Structure 1
Amino acid sequence: MFPSAIQLLPLRLDQAEIFHRWIQDQEVVLYSLNAFQQMDSLAKVAEWLEATLADPRCLNLGVYLAETQELIGHAGISGISTANQAGEYFILLGEKRYWGQGIATEVTRQVVARGFEELGLNRIMLTVSEPNKGGVKAYLRAGFQLEGRLRQACLRNGDFHDKLMMSVLREEWSAS
């Protein structure tokens, strides 16, 4: 699978079942939104998806395979502040068979480019669970820099772990 074989397109409300299937897999949501840890029904997932898609301060994109239009993930920028020209990057690759193929890095690059070029942002940040080595590597490859550490900020499977804060600035992006 080549990263160029993906497209970032709008999500639809009728895709709640796909998200519901993804979040049933604890490995998929291990380092994801806390909200995913509590969504135990299709109705809750549909409610979340509807609210997410209606949020004007959020760029929500589906990650699709270009050839088949299969939805394999969700990425975007949340908490967009026009006053501060900033937002927070997020990604969920729900289809595990596509993990480790460079897709997360490419999706991250494309979403960050949209944030700077289309949304006029100056800063895009994220937090990532330190044990999520693949995520950390993808973000570094996509141009993010480590800013700091939130000690024991996340509890998963009975264990606390640190979250890393990372960001990329428009001036760094355009220089790369």
Structure 2
Amino acid sequence: MITLKTLSKKDIFPFYDWINDDDVIKYSLSLFRKINTEKEIENWYSELLKNEKDITLGIFLESTNELIGYAGICDISETNKSGEYYIFIGEKKLWGKGIGTKVTEQILKIGFVDKKLNRIMLTVSEPNIGGLKAYEKSGFKIEGRLREASFRDNGFHDKLIMSILKSEWKERKTTANKT
């Protein structure tokens, strides 16, 4: 259904629409609320492509090779063997189809197997029920709450801190293979 590939300069075009769609960026980077011109988006995207420390991959539909979002792990600490997971699915017509869960599983494998991380964390806005369900389905556990840390829809809401450890991920894989 989907494949993850390195993003290129030509992949920028969908971001112009996505970043200017309030529904799409509702629970995304706060930065997306501050940029909206093509030049601002190009500057952000150029920095994204230059960053070699983070894992950043485009999410493409296998059938059409259409870019539908991006995901990865940022703030990777070699010392602590940890990083922060993120995902952004820009194509609204594909929300709620299980793509987020599939992408999360693939990125976790990259983080734990290829990058040899021990812990991958994320933050999710509490009203983002779809995201929260996908993360829990992938094995992330809530470990904390940032009270009123995000301002959206003219009000504050909490962000939840979630994480998964390599040992938990391995256990899930072992259990899944037995069934």
Q: Which bracket does the TM-score occupy, shorter chain normalised? A: over 0.9
Name the structure 1 match of 2:10: 14
The 5-angstrom pairing of residues 14-163 of structure 1 reads: 14-163=10-159
Once the two structures are TM-superposed, the CA of residue 81 in structure 1 deviates from its matched residue by: 0.9
Q: Distance in 1 between matches of 2:155 and 2:29?
A: 16
- Taking only the aligned residue pairs, the percentage that are identical comes to 47
Q: Distance in 2 between matches of 1:30 and 1:85?
A: 30
Judge conservation of contact 1:116–1:122 (CA < 8 Å) in 2. yes
C-alpha RMSD over aligned residues: 0.8
Deviates more, 1:9-18 or 1:154-163: 9-18
Per-residue CA deviations over 1:42-73 (Å, capped at 9, x if unaligned) read 11111111111211221000000001100001
Q: 5+ residue gaps in structure 1? A: none
Per-residue CA deviations over 1:100-131 (Å, capped at 9, x if unaligned) read 01000110111011000111111000000000
Q: 5+ residue gaps in structure 2? A: 173-179
Q: Distance in 1 between matches of 2:27 and 2:155?
A: 12
TM superposition score normalised by structure 1: 0.96
Corresponding residue pairs, total = 172
Q: Distance in 1 between matches of 2:113 and 2:131?
A: 24
